[in-house]
Amino acid sequence: MKFSVQQYLFLLLQGLHQANSHYGFPYTVVNGVVSKRWEYIRATTSFAPNYDYSGPQSMCGFNATTPLFPVKTVQVAAGSTIGFAASYMADNRLEEQDFSDFDPAFKMYHDGPATAYLSKAPGELNDYKGDGEWFKIAVVPASDGLHWDYRSDIKMNIMNFTIPAATPPGKYLFRAEHLNVVNGATYKATEMFINCAHIEVTGSGAGTPGPVTHFPGAFNAKDSGIWLPNGLAKPTQPMDELKNWQGAGPKVWKG
């Protein structure tokens, strides 16, 4: 096959776009310290958009139901904040074999809500398949009803979530998610970007987290928190649906 210069340029740009239209969260930020890549986050084999709303990849991303290799556990005090720092997809490398440092020049370029969930491990986190109970601890909606708080034009690269002060101490799988609410009514177009950290919540929280759910099973593709109909991606006037967005799955447990 022969390509014209225009076709080459098109393919090149498309390639660049693809390399850029994928991301994940391989680093944690705790007490201002950015981790090494995959130090506390279960490696995923791809940063491509995830559409597996009701399947096994909906829990911790691609091939991360069990750790591809063991990761460490980071301590986070109940009531404090953990950040998930973003990175682009590796070029010419397998994602799970990329151990590069956080590059603050990279910015998230999708607009959409974020959520965080916790699931307590019955034993060691590296053995935990996430098949226990999950509860939601945070949602980041469009506070003004118009612009998603986590969006491209604010040039952000770290999503932050606060762990409720009443969270009982213990070892938890922490699921962080950013959605790209794709414009248009296209059913099953919402892109999920998900990673899970191994954390140990410290402190003396004595709450009873709930309501609980399971992964897979917390979502389905038609859930109104996942499939936002046409116009909600980039509305032109404030909408309560965006302001009060709670996401798919259970209500947030505030402790």
| Site of interaction with ligand NAG (CB under 6 A) | 29, 32, 45-46, 62-63, 83, 156, 158, 160
Q: Which residue of the chain is nearest ligand NAG when measured via CB?
A: 45
Smallest separation, CB 175 to ligand NAG (Å) = 17
Smallest separation, CB 196 to ligand NAG (Å) = 15
Nearer to ligand NAG, 160 or 183 (CB): 160
Nearer to ligand NAG, 84 or 128 (CB): 84
Smallest separation, CB 208 to ligand NAG (Å) = 29
Nearer to ligand NAG, 32 or 123 (CB): 32
Nearer to ligand NAG, 44 or 213 (CB): 44
Smallest separation, CB 193 to ligand NAG (Å) = 13
Nearer to ligand NAG, 158 or 212 (CB): 158
**Are 183 and 233 a contacting pair, CB within 8 Å?**
yes
Smallest separation, CB 17 to ligand NAG (Å) = 19
